[in-house]
Every structure is written in C-alpha cells, then in structure tokens.
Amino acid sequence: MAACLAVASAASAQSSEERAAARSVVAKRSDAVIVVLATVKLRINVGGREQAADQAMQMNGTILDATGLTVFSLQQIQPDEAMTRMYSRQMPSGGGKIEVTSEPSDIKMHLADGRELPAKLVLRDTDLDLAFIRPSEPLSAPLPFIDAPSGKPSLLDTLTLVRRTNEATGWIAGASFANVELVIDKPRTYYQVAILGGGNSGSPLFDMAGRFVGVLLMRDTGARVPGLAILPADDIREVAKQAVIK
C-alpha cells in the first residue's frame, strides 16, 4: 500500500504543463527512437571448457543524423566485461579463470514506420558504452533524427525519456518522467536520474524545453551490475563525428 501511495505521489508531482510538454516531445522525437535487433554469439570459457550460444537481442537506439547513424548501449551487444565479472563473482575460489567473448551479427534497425533495415556496426567506444550503427545500404530518403539543441539540466530538473517497445506491444512509442538526482562531473559529466516507470538503455532524454539532454547508457561504477546514467548529448555527438568520417 505504501509503495502504491509513493508511486501515486510521484505521478502527481508533474504539472499539467509538464505533461503537455512531455507529450509534445514524444510527438516530435519518437520517430527517431528505434529498436535495434541483433544476434549476439556468446562464448563462455571456464577453466578451458568453452560453451557457445546465440542470443537474440532487442534494444532502443537513437538516430543522430539523416543518414541513419544510430547510437545505443554497447553492453547490449558486447557484454564481455560485465558477464566476465558477474560469472567470476559467482565462481568459487579456485574454480578456474572465466572469460566471456561476444560478437554481434545480423544487425537490423526496426524503424518507427515498421520498416527493418540491415545495418552495420561502424564504431564502438567501450569506455563510454557507445555503439554506433548505420544502414548497410544507401537510403532512398533521409530518416527522422534528433536535431534538437543540446540541453544541460541541473539537480532536480524533470526530464522526459522517450522509448520504443518491442513486437509484443506493437513497437509503439512510450515515455517516462525522470528526475535528476546527481550531476556527476568527474572524471566526466553524467546525469544520474530516477525514472518513474523505468527506462531503456539507448533511449534519449529531453528537458522541458525540448532540448536533447543525452542518452541513457550503462556506467561502470565497479558494482556487480553497472548502473544506468545519462551521457550528455554533446559528448555523444563528439564521439559520433568519428563514425561519420568512417
């Protein structure tokens, strides 16, 4: 009962103006939020014994330019370090060395209009948890993308997270409110947020003026499970320049 009251209280914290602004963001920007599909081949080596498995992955991605350059969380298709740490912590002392490797294949972009485009991985940044893909073939028309100016929120600001669901719910656009709990500035800037209703890594967030704040990605804090935090839009766009050159 207390949990229900807490959720209701949080939901009522947004004003009618904020809800209207959030709906406007979804209407303008959701076509640039897609679902990235991929098959990830995992190889798990435990003390010299190897197991292999293919996993079908679905994750949110954010289109950054008209050519279809899309950013999402690298750990979704390359979970090597995270899985190695997880299995190593579970392994009893003396149980042998664990190594996990992965390789994505059959990458596709499921667009807001229902089309699926074959895509190729063009850039990875393991430090920032960034993966960039673009369509494998030239496009006949430009794709919708996030062309909003960058926003830099302050502590306790309210943001709108835009996400896209999977096939089970019709690939539709959804949204959540997020409140900035921490502004981390060292060794680089991240925004840690509390998200009402949850969020998907790879999803973009916007402030109440519609400015592009950044993308929700995995931030390695040394904990058993890396935490989600927003990498600022300017940082993402700067790294993306390397993918444009390629």
Summarised one tens digit per residue, pLDDT across range 61-117 is 999 999 999 999 999 898 766 666 655 555 555 556 777 777 899 999 999 999 999
What the block records as the tokens of 80 is 């090597």
Q: Which of 135, 160, 192 is where one domain is finished?
A: 135
pLDDT digits (tens, 9 = 90+) for 149-203: 999 999 999 999 999 999 999 999 999 999 999 999 988 999 999 998 777 899 9
In a domain, 48, yes or no: yes
Strand partners, 195: 178
Give the domain range for residue 152: 2-30+148-245
Whether residue 146 is predicted with pLDDT greater than 90 in this model: the reply is yes
pLDDT digits (tens, 9 = 90+) for 6-50: 333 444 478 999 999 999 999 999 999 999 999 988 887 776 677
Please say whether the beta carbons of 182 and 154 come within 8 A. Answer: no
CA proximity to 161, closest of 239, 217, 111, 115 = 217
Strand partners, 228: 218
> Do 118 and 180 belong to one domain?
no
Cα–Cα distances (Å) from 158 to 18, 178, 213, 227, in that order, read: 8, 6, 11, 20
Residue 92 DSSP class: P
Going by pLDDT thresholds of 50, 70 and 90, the confidence category of residue 59 is very high
In a domain, 44, yes or no: yes
> Do 106 and 161 belong to one domain?
no
Strand partners, 214: 205, 232
CATH of the domain at 197: 2.40.10.10
Alpha carbons 74 and 71: distance in angstroms, whole number: 9
170: left (phi over 0), alpha (psi -120 to 50) or beta: left
Q: Of all residues in the chain, what percent carry a pLDDT higher than 90? A: 64
